[in-house]
Amino acid sequence: MNQKLQQEVLRNFNFLPDNSLVRLPTLMALYGLSKSTILREIKRGNLPKPIHLSLRTTAWKVKDIRGNLDSKSDARETEIEE
């Protein structure tokens, strides 16, 4: 994903409704991870599982991604306080 598109994704993510779906490049921009790392973290249970829209198309619920990002943020804050 080019840098300009990545900045736009990050800037607009908060305005998406919870019932929206996002694709892999958006997750890559939000988490700053490569495709292979994201898929590995899904298998480990550290990231939400995608929804299969068709045989070759997957997407993630914005609500699930926000929940995951919030839980990581909360865990980091708890770690800092201790």
Per residue in 18-49, pLDDT (tens digit) is 999 999 999 999 999 999 999 999 999 999 99
The domain in which residue 22 lies consists of 3-81
How many domains does the chain contain in total?
Answer: 1
How many residues belong to the chain?
82
All residues at 6 or more sequence positions from 67 whose CB lies less than 8 Å from its CB, including other chains: 48
Question: Which range has the worst mean pLDDT, 5-14, 38-47, 52-61?
Answer: 5-14
- HEC string of 14-60 equals HHCCCCCEECHHHHHHHHCCCHHHHHHHHHHCCCCCCEEEECCEEEE
Give the closest residue to 58 by CA, choosing from 31, 9, 24.
24
Q: What is the pTM of this model?
A: 0.79
- The residue-averaged pLDDT of 38-64 equals 97
